[in-house]
Amino acid sequence: MAVPSAPPLPGAVFSVAEARALGLPPSRLRRKEFAAAGYGLRIVRGRERSLADQLRALAPEAGHTVASHVTAALLWGMWLPLHLDTAPLHLTRPLRYSQPRRRGVVGHNAALQQGDVVRSNGLLVTSPVFTWTDLACVLSCDDLVAVGDSLLRRQDAPPRGGSLPWPDPLCQPAEIQEVVERRTGIRGRATAVAAWGLLRAGVDSAPESHLRLLIHHAALPEPEVNQWITGPDGRVISRPDLQYRRLRIALEYEGEHHLLDPAQWHRDIERDDRLRQLGWVVLRFTKQHLRPENAPATAEKVRTALLARGWQPGWPT
């Protein structure tokens, strides 16, 4: 006689209620293969747990608790500062419900409208735009701009990361404006308003955003973002991170992967050589150029190139 198989587990992290609904007996939940993860929660020992795994038991699609703030930003793959990767879980409920209260969780209430919450991959998550406005109370204006740029990436951008399989762009500029104008009473709204005016579509990475902002803070003209350059025969030559097209100045941010991948490094060199053959100046930058102590020299590097090409302060490019 065949022995009936044990019911499958809900996941690496699950609630006792989920387990009972699947038919797991209380005796099994007391085994050493599980450990308590707070009131009414269990984790499977030895199994890797993603952020989404942790949240499915706390913010399931069927409930009223929503992953929000930094937690939602990580799920969406937004470009957060690195120190926020280990932030506690943030959960939000509509105003008519009590705040989530659980060890390791920061609870919130918010006036959530239908479009402010997304159901995806078994989770309830605040929308990309609502999440962005929530972050205005914990991020500097420059960091908030970088996060906002990550919402407006082009369709063919490199993989964004995160746990939610939504295509780029995650929203449109008009959607951001609508939520900023609606959420008048939130903490950090002045930061959100200032950052909104500095967002640009088509940026590939946070360092590119910070390089553009460094140029902005130095009162230099704003470069174009990720626009194609073609040769005299119409062939596509390059799409620099930033550029001054009329002055033929291209600015490229070189992430560490460019230096560690020999094939990528070779392509970068060939690309820049083709631009130089067309009369372009190519300026290259790394994360060291973006450090606060190096920002003045970085801005001067751009200023020198502009002046060498005939630009004068106050002139458009």
What pLDDT, on a 0 to 100 scale, did the predictor assign at position 282?
97
Q: Residue 94 is inside which H or E element, if any? A: strand 89-94
Mean pLDDT of the chain: 88
pLDDT band for position 257 (50/70/90)? low
Does residue 190 register a pLDDT over 60? yes
The CATH class that applies to domain 206-308 reads alpha beta
What pTM value is reported for the model? Answer: 0.86
Q: Which of 95, 56, 90, 51 has the alpha carbon at shortest distance from 70?
A: 90
Region 101-116: mean pLDDT is 91
- Tokens encoding 98: 């009590």
Which of 86-95, 205-214, 278-287 has the least mean pLDDT? 86-95
pLDDT band for position 6 (50/70/90)? low
What pLDDT, on a 0 to 100 scale, did the predictor assign at position 1?
44
Cβ(14)–Cβ(7) below 8 Å = no
DSSP-derived 3-state class of residue 33: coil
As a whole-number percent, the residues of the chain with pLDDT over 70 amount to: 86
Which of 26-30, 125-129, 303-307 has the least mean pLDDT? 26-30
What pLDDT, on a 0 to 100 scale, did the predictor assign at position 276?
93
Q: Which of 61, 59, 79 has the alpha carbon at shortest distance from 70?
A: 79
> In which residue are the tokens 């490094």 written?
265
Does residue 209 register a pLDDT over 60? yes
pLDDT tens by residue, 289-312: 999 999 999 999 999 999 999 999
Does residue 122 register a pLDDT over 90? no
As a whole-number percent, the residues of the chain with pLDDT over 90 amount to: 60
* Residue range(s) of every CATH 3.40.960.10 domain in the chain: 206-308
Q: What is the Cα Rg of the chain in Å?
A: 24
What pLDDT, on a 0 to 100 scale, did the predictor assign at position 253?
96
Taking the CA atoms of 18, 108, 184 and 70 in sequence, report the sign of the dihedral they define. Answer: negative
